[in-house]
Every structure is written in C-alpha cells, then in structure tokens.
Structure 1
Amino acid sequence: MSIEYKFPEGFWWGSAVSATQIEGAAAEGGKGLNIWDYWYAIEPNRFFEGVGPETTSDFYHSYQDDIKRMKDIGHNSFRLSISWSRLLPGGRGEINQEAVKFYNDVINELIAHDIEPFVNLFHFDMPLEMQEIGGWENRQVVDLFVDYANVCFDLFGDRVHKWFTFNEPIVPVEGGYLYDFHYPNVVDAKRAIQVGYNTMIASAKAIEKFRSHHFGESQIGIILNLTPSYPRSQNPADLKASEIADLFFNRSFLDPSVLGSYPHKLIQLLEEHGQLPETEEGDTELMAANTVDLLGVNYYQPRRVKAKDHLPNPYSPFMPDWFFDNYEMPGRKMNKYRGWEIYEKGIYDIMINLKENYGNIGSFISENGMGVQDEERFMKEGRIEDDYRINFITGHLKWLHQAIEEGCNAKGYHLWSFMDNWSWMNAYKNRYGFFSVDLETKERKPKKSAYFMKNVAEQNGF
C-alpha cells in the first residue's frame, strides 16, 4: 500500500490527557483538594449523571499497562499534566513524596518505552486553597504557581525536555468567570479579564524561571485552543465581528505568548469599555522577554460569527458577545453525536496564520478529537468500530500535511485522547479515546481507531 501522505522525519505521534481527567485516586496518595473535588462535593447535580472526579479512568493505578498500550499503538510522545494539588497539597509548602514517586514512575516508564513525555503544569485544576485566596485574580497565587513550576523543573527537568505552562488558559476564564461552566461560577468580565491577564503573567514568570535552570535543548511552551473566527460574509460589519471574536478568544493569549505583547486593538477595546486589568510595573518587559519556544494547538471546531442582530442591552454585564453573534452556516458538516461542526481545513488555516503572523513558530497539534455519546452502539464482535473517528483524524491530517508542504513548522499530532476520560461537567458523556474504558471494571479495550493510529505512526503517514 503506497503512502500518499508522508510526514516529516521524527514527527510526534501520540495523544494527550490531563491529571484530573484520568488519574482518579482523588483522595489517595496524599493529594490535596482541587476546585473540581470541591465543586463536585457541593454540587454533584451539575455533573453528567452525577459522576465526579474521584476515580475517573484510574491511570494512577494502571499507568504501567496504559503506557504499554501507548507503545503498542505506535506512540512516540504523550502529553500529561501534573496535578498541582497532588504534588503540593494546598498549593504550597511541603512536597508530597508519594506524588513525586508517582510522577517519576510515569515519566521513567514512558522513557523506557521510547515515548517522550510532554509535561503540562496546569490544566484547569486549581488547588482549592489557592482558589480560596482568589485564584488567578490574586498575584500571590501567580508567584505560588511559579514556585510549584520550579519544584517540577527541579524534580523532573533532567528527563522531561518538553514543558508547557498552561493548557487552554482561556477556558478557566470563560468557564469560571464569564459563562458559568467551571467553579467559581462567577459572571463578571472585569474579573475574567484580570484572571486572563494574571495567567499570562504566571506563564511568563514560569518561563523565566525555567530558563534560569539552563536545561540546554529543553523547550517550554504553552497550549492554546485556537479556533479560527470565520465571518458570515465579507460585509464590513461581519468582518469586524470576526476580528473582535478573534481578539477575545485567540489573540488574547496567542499574541502575548508568542509575540510578547497584547494586540493594540484589544487594549483599545477594553479601555473604551472600562475593562482593562490591573497591571504592575515591569509586566510589559517580563512578557516581552519570556515568549514561548513551542506552541501546542488544540483544534476541534471553527467559530463562525456575524454582526449583531440586536444591540446589546446597555444595562447587561459587559461580555465579548456584545460585539458578535454566533452564526450557524447552512449545510455545515456536523459531528451529529456531539453537536459540533467538523471543519478540517481549520487546522490548515491556523497553521498558515502561525506561519504568516507568528514567525512560523515550532508548533504541533496538541489536541484534536471527536467526542461521541453511547459509543457501545457501534460495537461489533466486542470492538467499537469508530470509522467516524478514523475519518475525522484522516481529514484533519490531510490538511495538516498540506500546511507542512507549504512550509508550516508543524511537528506532530496528538489525539484527545488516549482513552475515554472524565470530561469536567460532561463526565463520561462523550467518549474520545483510542481505548474504551468500562466505568465499572476500568477495563480498557482498543477501538478500531487504535489500530488505524498504529499503522499511521509506524508508517509515519497514510
């Protein structure tokens, strides 16, 4: 079988997970509480079918077998996150040695199987005690995060050569402070903007700390969910709507991370509406001096927008949505199981944008995937025949390949996710994995897509 789409030598094939979504053992091994443990304890009704983060997919106890499975399907890289509340219960103070042993064992096991660990420091899981003093609204928490990051660099930096400060830092802003789908369930744009700003300060400070270690070839980056904003039409009002959506949801983190400064138009807009965050002296220089080496790109679906149909209520809370409406394009291709649009070319458009406007920074697809409810209905002879996922991956890889052919600096593709995992408020509603997980027994079974991935990785193409 000839390979039509061949990827560059050394391309990263793998998958991504996060601590809270797969580890389980939420009350074991000396772990402290994070905001998810707490929110589930007080409002379990807000989680799909009342399933919380206490056991999830139990990676904490089954990582050895799982890593062997990763090797079996051709992974040469794998992204995980470290749980701040596991490593430093309470967010500060004494290091939890049980957590050190666990993360050392995971990292060493990956390396023993020739799988490079990509380690992310923060994936939505603020230690509860840090949230109680204001979370990212509080600059003290920023400095405590840098202390935690430094503990990670000290403990694991001799073996981990790919680090990331944050995964999708805009999501806690949107979920926790704008649209009420993450704890602390605040709806207040001014506070949201402060949280976003302080997160970028935390990222820059962690990068500065990382570089003080002089790790040689090691790199540090950030992982952003970049969602191209497509206007309904070329009408100036639609174009402006898409530009503002892009400023709020993409460039607010992309520009400071890669270029070291905020877009002038975003600053102007926030100033006009009295929404600028509080800053400290030296912040501008700090950001400019500590841009990322590497960019992870999470892409699932496009954002389509149009000019507002109605003027916003002047008495309503300030929102990004004052400037655009979402637009449902007729005839769009859908993941009918998840309700999201499938637009494979989006991955190409992101890469071209990075090439043309962001110095063609080294990047990789750090998440891309397809969530499907009730996947058991696709079971044949004991295996989930997820051809829809294989088609989804293939379609995106073709456009990623095209971008690389045109000179984009894309170095890898990681699927979300290795196995079905707990997905915040949605719990196990939508399944994303190469491997299915039985919630009762925790048994893993490869889906058809796992065998497809093995072939792609082994041939470095398809």
Structure 2
Amino acid sequence: MWEDFRWGAATAAYQVEGAAGEDGRGPSIWDTFAHTPGKVLGGDTGDVAADHYHRWQEDVALMAALGLQSYRLSVSWSRVQPGGRGPLNPAGVAFYRRLLDELVAHDIAPVVTLYHWDLPQELEDAGGWPNRETAYAFAEYARLMARELGDRVALWTTLNEPWCSAFLGYASGVHAPGRTEPAAALAAAHHLNLAHGLATQAIRAELGEHTPVSAALNVHVTHPADPESAADLEAVAQINAVGNHVFLGPMLDGSYPTRLLRDTAHVTDWSFVEPGDLTTARQRMDVLGVNYYSTQLVRRYGGDGPAPRADGHGASSASPWVGADSVEFLPVAPPHTAMGWNVAPEALEELLLALDNAYPDQPLLVTENGAAYEDVVAPDGRIHDQARVAYYRDHIAAVLRAREAGVDVRGYTAWSLMDNFEWGYGYSKRFGIVRVDYETLERTPKDSALWYREVIRTGRLPGVEEAAALPVLGAGDVRAAQSSDR
C-alpha cells in the first residue's frame, strides 16, 4: 500500500521519451498534432524530446543521486500497443520492464500513469474519447499492463488531468487532437470517467483487490472577484461544477452534480451516460492525485457575447469552459511564472484542506507541482534558478502545513524531473529541476534540484539563498548511483 510520505518527481512519456518511430511504436494524437503546422510553438515535436528512451539508465542514476523516493512516469500507450487494440509490442513492453526494474533496484517507487494524453491515433480515427469504445479499449490496455508490469509498480494512476484531455483536446482544440466540439468534450469527459472505473477494475482483477490505484486531477482553485458578491460566488460554483466535479463527482461520489447537468443542458442531453456507468466510475481510490500550479479569478459576466475563458491551470486563453458562458476570467495579480500563471502557494494548502473537508477518508498525493522560468546558465556552469527554488520552498511548506492540520497527504511530486516538450509551447518553457541542453541532450541539475535533494536528505526546508551554495552533483555522483546495487 502507498502509506508513507514520499518525495518524488514526475515526467510524461511524450514529453521526455523521444524515439517516436523506433522499435514498433505507433503514432499518437500528439505525434499527429505536433506535426500539424501551426499547432505547436516553433513547430516543435516530441520526436526526440529529452531522449529518455535511450538515456533511461543515466536518468535513473540521476534520480538516485538526488535521493528521489518515487518517480511518476507514464506509459506510451502507442509504444506498447501501437493501434490501441490488439497484440502488444514486445519491444515497447521490454523498455518499461527495464526502466521499472532499474527504479526498483535503486529503491525508487514507480508511480505508473497509464494515460498522460497520448491516445493512439488509430483510436482517435475511430472517434477518440467521445466514442464509448475507447473506454473499453483503455480497460483492456490497463489489464495487459497490469499483467506485464504489475509486480514492479508501487502505485497505478489511470488518468492524468482528464479535464485537459476532454476540454483542451475536444472543446478548445489547443491540445491534441485539436477538435472544437463542446458536446464531444462532455462525452469525452464521461468516457474518461468510465475508463478510470473500468481500468481500476481490470488492474485489480489481474493483481488483486488491494492493488493501489489512483487518478491525478488538476483540481481548480477559483476565487470570486468580489467575495461579497452573490453573483461572483455563483460564478465560482458554476466553474467548480464543470472544472472539478465533472470528475470528482463520478470518481468519488458516483454521480454528476445537478448543477453541471443543468448548466450544460444546452450543449448535450447526456444520453451517453448509460445505466451502471457511474457505479463503475466510482472505485476505491487509494490516493487521489492532486496537480496544482496556480489559481484563477472570476466574476459573473455582464457583457454582450461570450465571456473570456481560461485554460486548465488558470491562465487566460481561448479554452472554453463548457456550460460557463456567463463567467469572466480576470487577470490574477503577480508574481507570475514564465507560463503567465500566478504564484499562490497558500492556495495549495487551501485546496488540500478543502478536499480533506469534502472527502475526509480520502488520502491525497500531490502528483504535480512546479514552475517554468527563464533559466540562464551562469559562467560557472550552474543554473541559479532562485525563483524556482522559492516556488518549491513555499509550496512544499504549504503541503507540510496541511499535513500538520491533519490532512492525509502521502507525498509530494515535483514537476518536472527534467526540461521537456511542454505541449503547445514546445521547448520554449522549462519546468525541469534538471536542465536539458536540447543540442547535446546533456543533463545538468539546477540549484532547485540540489535544494530538493537537501530537503529529501535532511527533512528540512533550506532557505532560498542556501541553494546556490549547495555542492554540485557531479558525473562521479551519478556514476556511483548508477553502479549502486542498494
């Protein structure tokens, strides 16, 4: 069981692996999307990414040298099952076996996410997540992965941020597959809920009822522009329904909120919800994964035409919030990260407390938290990313305060282990605590990585100014970790 507090870091397959056309891997929707002109900044693709597929041993040694206690990775569905159905690709399965074996050998608990947005293109061609059959294909894929990898996995995560999969992929079109069909987005959301439940059942049928399973949700923290305004408070409730309870409801309560169904009645009649679906979606979740980056500010919109929108982490964009046409998203006060997202560590504590209040028996795990900044390599070769160190220090402190208040938080996962392909932003945004030189693919731990290593080693939160004075992590340290059989 996932019972202890663990310090970890995370990546996702399409963002780091590369080797897009090697060893039998089939195309995913992100391969197609990234290769479509105009979809990704700079025309960047994940064809090479951080080349983790070829450098995984070096990367695990780096994790060990940093002292990581868990590593959250995702399986590329199209690498192990190229068309999303049918026989497995032995080379793809072997890659993940080797990777998981290496993690276990270094006492790093593998947290395996089965779906981090990279649907096999053949399944999208058949309708994608708006098609109910995709949920059943996903369950079969989950069953096969449990059979092939199950003895190596500490915690299974079915889905990462299904809100983004449904609404950024099928409503706004800013993520793959790039569709702009609000009704399809709501159908996709339901089938993702169904897929989570079916996959959880499939994993436990293979590995036993006590197998730890989770899902990682980007639960939105939304504040009213005027806390005294009933209209603005109503706008928050409207956003919470379509932003949070569209997944929390089915997964943890076994129902959709009435307000969500009412607010979206002009978009769909929800006839895709079949008898028994919500019972299936609600499966015991050993921990609820919580991804948090920033907040958003809203008010009731009183103008003509559609209101401005926001994306899944609170930054202004063209992303539609289906059923929230009368809500206006306002600029949030600085400081901001390079993504334009505000820095509000106190809201992470607020979120954890709110989830604990709503679901007091549900353990939580921070599965993503981090920041992109404009990193500069100093003359001494180091990356003195003081702003990122401050971000981590303040957010980890918020998690620890929530634990002290009695919230059952089982761990903290930094996003991301290394710089990578940042979806529609390509390689222009760097989230990593380890720098990747995209010309040479050399890895260099930033000050934030050295600071995080000290947190894990000592259990204390060093001051931001201490990070620059911490000893570097040299090649010898990584080699020593790589040769260790601890």
- Which TM-score applies when normalising by structure 2? 0.88
Q: Which residues in structure 2 correspond to 1:100-139 (within 5 Å)?
A: 100-139=93-132
2:484 alignment counterpart = none
Q: Could you tell me which of 51, 65, 72 is aligned with 1:58?
A: 51
Say whether the 8 Å CA contact 2:263–2:324 is kept in structure 1: no
Moved more, 187-196 or 127-136: 187-196
DSSP-derived class of the 2:265 partner:
helix
Q: Could you tell me which of 35, 49, 57 is aligned with 2:29?
A: 35
Q: Distance in 1 between matches of 2:136 and 2:349?
A: 37
Q: Could you tell me which of 309, 326, 329 is aligned with 1:326?
A: 329
The answer to whether structure 1 residue 265 and structure 2 residue 293 are counterparts is no
Give how far 1:51 is off.
1.5
Give how far 1:277 is off.
4.6
Say whether the 8 Å CA contact 1:362–1:411 is kept in structure 2: yes
1:440 alignment counterpart = 439
Give how far 1:176 is off.
1.6
Give how far 1:272 is off.
6.0
Give how far 1:103 is off.
0.2
Say whether the 8 Å CA contact 2:373–2:388 is kept in structure 1: no
2:314 alignment counterpart = none
Matched-pair identity in %: 33
2:248 alignment counterpart = 254
Structure 2 counterpart of 1:286, one-letter code = T
Say whether the 8 Å CA contact 1:204–1:291 is kept in structure 2: no
1:346 alignment counterpart = 347
The answer to whether structure 1 residue 372 and structure 2 residue 377 are counterparts is no
1:241 alignment counterpart = 235
Which whole-Å deviations, capped at 9, do the CAs of 1:201-255 have from their partners, x for residues lacking one? 1111111112223436531010001121111112000000011111111111122
Q: Distance in 2 between matches of 1:397 and 1:313?
A: 38
Give how far 1:195 is off.
0.6
Q: Distance in 2 between matches of 1:217 and 1:245?
A: 35
Q: Which runs of 5+ in 2 are unaligned?
A: 308-319, 462-486
Q: Distance in 1 between matches of 2:378 and 2:161?
A: 33
Q: Distance in 2 between matches of 1:318 and 1:25?
A: 35
Q: How many residues align?
A: 446
Give how far 1:169 is off.
0.3
Give how far 1:311 is off.
4.6
Q: Distance in 2 between matches of 1:390 and 1:276?
A: 45
DSSP-derived class of the 1:361 partner:
coil
The answer to whether structure 1 residue 401 and structure 2 residue 400 are counterparts is yes
Which whole-Å deviations, capped at 9, do the CAs of 1:374-428 have from their partners, x for residues lacking one? x12x524101100111100011111111111111010111111001011111111
Moved more, 136-145 or 384-393: 136-145
Q: Which residues in structure 2 correspond to 1:402-441 (within 5 Å)?
A: 402-441=401-440
Give how far 1:149 is off.
0.6
DSSP-derived class of the 1:91 partner:
coil
1:4 alignment counterpart = none
Q: Distance in 1 between matches of 2:171 and 2:207?
A: 39
Distance 1:410 1:443, change over 3 A: same
1:73 alignment counterpart = 66
Q: Distance in 1 between matches of 2:103 and 2:373?
A: 28
Q: Distance in 2 between matches of 1:313 and 1:370?
A: 31
Moved more, 412-421 or 176-185: 176-185
Distance 1:280 1:321, change over 3 A: closer
Q: Which residues in structure 2 correspond to 1:190-201 (within 5 Å)?
A: 190-201=183-194
1:5 alignment counterpart = none
Say whether the 8 Å CA contact 2:415–2:432 is kept in structure 1: yes
DSSP-derived class of the 2:413 partner:
strand
Give how far 1:84 is off.
0.6
Say whether the 8 Å CA contact 1:86–1:99 is kept in structure 2: yes
Give how far 1:144 is off.
0.9
Q: Distance in 1 between matches of 2:358 and 2:441?
A: 45
Q: Distance in 2 between matches of 1:271 and 1:139?
A: 20
Structure 1 counterpart of 2:186, one-letter code = I
Q: Distance in 2 between matches of 1:406 and 1:319?
A: 35
Which whole-Å deviations, capped at 9, do the CAs of 1:132-154 have from their partners, x for residues lacking one? 00011111111111111101000
RMSD value, Cα: 1.8
DSSP-derived class of the 2:9 partner:
strand
1:3 alignment counterpart = none
Say whether the 8 Å CA contact 2:39–2:174 is kept in structure 1: no
Q: Distance in 2 between matches of 1:398 and 1:277?
A: 45
